[in-house]
Chain A
């Protein structure tokens, strides 16, 4: 059996696998990939185990919205990104902010002092900043379906537990501490070289990604008008570096060093992208974000 046939078989046998396989032969010069997060991680239930009832229908709708947001939640989406473009493998992959780990950890202390962010408010923020669109109301079917899907992914995961594989793994990226630690500030120049070597084949020379024929992307755009806005958490160098180190290049997470990911993040964030929707035009002209 040829390599690509096995790959297709695997992707058919496990419906939970990401739908971004390409029909290409596997490279022959494989090297052993270091494991980013050794140890056991939580395994969410399989798609075939979704019950055949109304709740199951909502969970299925939530999954479809999750992987095809640009089409099924187009009322609120601003660009063509999907949830699954960052939350890899339909929100299942550890260290890519998996939904099964997030569900039990919200509500949690928000970023601005004295605030608490609920799970629903976090989804709204994803729509507002990462999808550069509108926040879905709390009682919209899109919101209900995404909540139901997340809760179903977290079936049997303990409530309010710190699970291995949550967030981007490792250090607290949101607090400004990159995962590897010890990396100096990223260099755009080094980042450009690394980008061309490691990222360009999927994300394109202009960061434009590769679009699906219908809606959404095989590989999401990293900058430009079609990418996430400057209000996104991924527009912060430390957060983006932590994400890259845990997940990129696709399927080889953990293969880049902290310094390399900091460089790539600096390069990607030096490119233009939609402005932070919270910042007004005048403020932007004055040199804001």
Chain B
């Protein structure tokens, strides 16, 4: 019963009633809300003030082949396991991390990413196009296979991202892109992280990080954070500072920027130390030797 109440509180925070001064917490293009919004909501304070880019609405898309491609990209984005089953490897969708259908600021919104590519990435020490970046998401975060560059899935996701970025000058870092800034000189502790996880995260992501499945028992309402259905050790989320910045800006859902930097680091380390699929770039032996070389 208590868990149910907490879940309800989380849902209330995630889907507040309109009008509201934080438009991104709602699924902007959802025709029907996932749940009925309770009537007794208080106004939520804006935790990170400043101007944000507002991407276009779905019903502005024209009824032609390009509009169809963008709509298809959105469908893949919100339901990757069903729409891109050839390449998705685990239970995650793009939207599991890129919240609000890739629209929410500080959750690596697509409109913030598109204008920056092609760009240099330290991950592979090379210049990557946007399409190659999407391939990396499939390979690491979704623990699957890289879609070929000419595949329909890549074309559709790219078209969706470019459409969301409509009007943003090319090459411009827009406020709200990527994740929030977080302190670097923080020593994380997984002991404290366990406590934070139990208090703030377990209600949605489960005591064993298994997430919560949707009503159809296939998709996830709340994504798994570790275990075989989660991102693998090659994903950006496997880096403590990256995960901490994501958690700080977005978690608990609907109450981003409510954790201290220290808490975000702690819980990120706690999640990192759990078991998850191996890094596909490494052989199992070198992955095993991870145990002897620290993290």
Question: Nearest residue in B to A144 (C-beta to C-beta)?
Answer: B129
B28-52 vs A, Cβ < 8 Å mask (1 yes, 0 no)? 0000000000000000000000000
> By the criterion CB–CB under 8 Å, are B69 and A107 in contact?
yes
Q: Is A113 part of the binding interface, using a Cβ–Cβ cutoff of 8 Å?
A: yes
A113 and B65 contacting across the interface, CB-CB below 8 Å = yes
Docked-complex contact A156 and B171, CB < 8 angstroms: yes
Q: Is A114 an interface residue (CB 8 A)?
A: yes
- Picked from A108, A118, A161, the residue with its CB within 8 Å of the CB of B158 is A118
| Interfacial chain B residues near A107, Cβ < 8 Å | 66, 69, 155, 158-159, 162
Stretch at the interface among A11-19, A88-96, A145-153, A221-229: A145-153
Please report the C-alpha to C-alpha distance between residue A266 and residue B117 in the assembled complex, in whole angstroms. 41
CA distance A160 to B169 in the complex (A): 9
Q: What residue of chain A has the Cβ atom nearest to residue B172's Cβ?
A: A156
Interface string of B143-178 (1 = CB under 8 A from A): 000000110000100110011011111111000000
At the interface, yes or no: B114 with Cβ under 8 Å from chain A?
yes
Q: Determine the chain A residues whose CB is within 8 A of the CB of B165 once the complex forms.
A: 159-160
List chain A residues, Cβ under 8 A from B167: 158-161
Within 8 A of B (CB), among A66-120: 103-104, 107-110, 113-116, 118, 120
**A104: chain B residues within 8 A (beta carbon):** 162, 170
Q: Decide: A58 near B150, CB < 8 A? Known: A113-B65, A148-B127, A159-B162.
A: no
Q: CA separation between A53 and B118, bound complex, in Å?
A: 13
Closest to A161 in B: B167
Does A10 have its Cβ within 8 Å of any Cβ on chain B?
Answer: no
In the complex, chain A residues whose CB is within 8 Å of the CB of B158? 107, 118
Known: A138-B131, A158-B168. A151 touches B118 (CB 8 A): yes
Asked if residues B127 and A54 are in contact (CB atoms below 8 Å), the reply is yes
B284 adjacent to chain A (CB < 8 Å): no
A137 to chain B, nearest CB (A): 8
Any A CB within 8 A of the CB of B119: yes
A55 interface residue, CB < 8 Å from B? yes
User: Which residues of A are found within 8 Å of B114, using beta-carbon distances?
Assistant: 159
Closest chain-A Cβ to B133's Cβ sits at a distance in Å of 13
Q: Which residues of B (34-93) have their CB < 8 Å from a CB of A?
A: 64-66, 68-69
What total of A-B pairs shows CB separation below 8 Å?
A: 88
* A107 to B171 alpha-carbon distance, docked (Å): 18
Give every chain A residue within 8 A of B127 (Cβ-Cβ). Answer: 54-55, 58, 144, 148
Q: Does A139 contact B (CB under 8 A)?
A: yes
Residues of A close to B166: CB separation below 8 A: 158-161
Which single residue of chain A is at the shortest CB-CB distance from B67? A109
The 8 Å CB contact of A155, one of B126, B129, B131, B171, is B171
Would you call B115 an interface residue if the criterion is a C-beta within 8 Å of the partner chain's C-beta atoms? yes
A54-B126 CB under 8 A given contacts A109-B65, A110-B65: yes
In whole angstroms, what is the CA distance A72 to B69 when docked?
34
Are A116 and B66 in contact, with the CB atoms below 8 A? yes
Partner of A159, one of B69, B119, B149, B168: B168
Alpha-carbon distance A107/B72, docked complex (angstroms): 14
Q: Which residue of A lies closest to B166 (CB)?
A: A160
Q: Within 8 Å CB of B65, what residues of A? A: 109-110, 113-116
Which residues in window 120-179 of A have CB below 8 A to B?
120, 138-139, 144, 147-148, 151-152, 154-161
A147 contact set on B, CB distance < 8 A: 118, 129
With A54-B126, A54-B127, A107-B162 already in contact, the answer to whether A148 and B118 are too (CB < 8 A) is yes
Judge whether B288 is part of the interface by a CB distance below 8 angstroms.
Answer: no
Rounded to whole angstroms, the CA-CA distance of A116 and B66 in the bound complex is 6
Closest-CB distance, B131 to chain A (whole angstroms): 7
CB-based contact B169/A158 at 8 Å: yes
Q: Which residue of B120, B129, B155, B168 contacts A53 across the interface (Cβ within 8 Å)?
A: B120
The chain A residue sitting closest to B132, CB to CB, is A139
Asked if A58 and B118 make an inter-chain contact with CB atoms under 8 angstroms apart, the answer reads yes
Alpha-carbon distance between A140 and B114 when the two chains are bound, in angstroms = 21
**A-B interface, 3 closest residue pairs, ranked by CB to CB distance from nearest:** A138-B149, A155-B171, A154-B170
**21 A-B pairs whose Cβ atoms sit less than 8 Å apart in the complex:** A54-B126, A107-B69, A107-B155, A108-B66, A109-B64, A109-B65, A114-B65, A116-B159, A118-B155, A118-B158, A138-B131, A139-B149, A144-B129, A151-B118, A156-B169, A158-B169, A159-B114, A159-B168, A160-B162, A160-B163, A161-B167
What residues make up the interface of A, taking CB atoms closer than 8 Å to B?
53-55, 58, 103-104, 107-110, 113-116, 118, 120, 138-139, 144, 147-148, 151-152, 154-161
Contacts A152-B171, A159-B162, A161-B166 known; 20 new A-B pairs at CB < 8 A: A54-B120, A54-B126, A58-B127, A104-B162, A107-B155, A108-B66, A115-B65, A116-B155, A116-B159, A120-B149, A139-B132, A147-B118, A158-B168, A158-B170, A159-B114, A159-B165, A159-B168, A160-B162, A160-B163, A160-B167
